Structure formats: C-alpha cells, structure tokens
Amino acid sequence: MPYSMCARHKRLHPIGAPCPLCNSRDTNSSRNRRHPSKGATARGYNYQWQKLRAEAIKLQPYCSFCGTDKDLTGDHVIPLKQGGMNSLDNIRVLCRRCNTRRENDYRKGNRY
C-alpha cells in the first residue's frame, strides 16, 4: 500500500487516509499548502532581471563586500518590495554568502 507523509508531523499514513494526528489528507502536496510560495517571476525576477544581473556581474566580476569572485549573485540595493526597480543603478554584485548575511542582518534591523 502506498503511503504519504504528513508534513506537519513527519509521519506516514496511507494515501487517501487522513493523518491520525492532524486529520488532514496529503499535507505534503503543494496544492494543500496554507501559504503557497510565489515563483521567481511572480516576485519580479523575470527575464529582464536575469539579463541585468548577468550584465552587472560581467561589469564587476567580484563581490562588493568581500571581494571574492566565487558564486556571485545580483542584489537589489532598494528591494522591489520597497519600490526599487530592475535597473543597473539598483543592482550590486554580492557573493551568495554576503547576500544571505545581508538579508539576515536586514531582517534583524541592521541595515546596510
């Protein structure tokens, strides 16, 4: 008999049968998620962004913070959520490590 895993409790239960702990069916499927994640295009990272990011990395092939040339990403100086735009003036090149650290600091209230 095939089984499905409850995402909340990490326990197997037969497909079609509800989870015995939370009484929900197939909670690990994307259609049953309470808050489905948006795709990159829905968040504003479309083809234009991909081209601009590649152009920014070509113009500056190193991280703006630490200077490394490994695993480079594009980062909005002013996020799209706060009214920033997809333009070369609003993109800086960061390595993935610095980009992640910057985002974590931003969420804690320390802004760059």
The enclosing domain of 82 has a CATH number of 1.10.30.50
**Which pLDDT does position 34 carry in this prediction?**
53
**In a shared domain, residues 66 and 103:** yes
Q: Is the pTM of this model over 0.95?
A: no
> What was the pLDDT predicted at 111?
57
112 residues of the chain, pLDDT tens digit each = 677 777 777 777 777 777 777 776 554 444 455 555 667 777 777 888 899 999 999 999 999 999 999 999 999 888 888 888 889 999 999 999 998 887 666 656 665 5
CA–CA gap between residue 1 and residue 66 (Å, rounded): 53
Helix, strand and coil in the chain, % to nearest 5:
30, 15, 55
Structurally, the chain folds into a number of domains equal to 2
Give me the pLDDT at residue 25, please.
56
CA–CA distance, 96 with 65 (Å, rounded to integer): 11
Domain assignment present for 37:
no
Q: Are 76 and 83 within 8 A, CB to CB?
A: no
Range of the domain at 73: 59-108
Q: Is 16 a member of any domain?
A: yes
Q: Which pLDDT score, from 0 to 100, does residue 1 have? A: 62
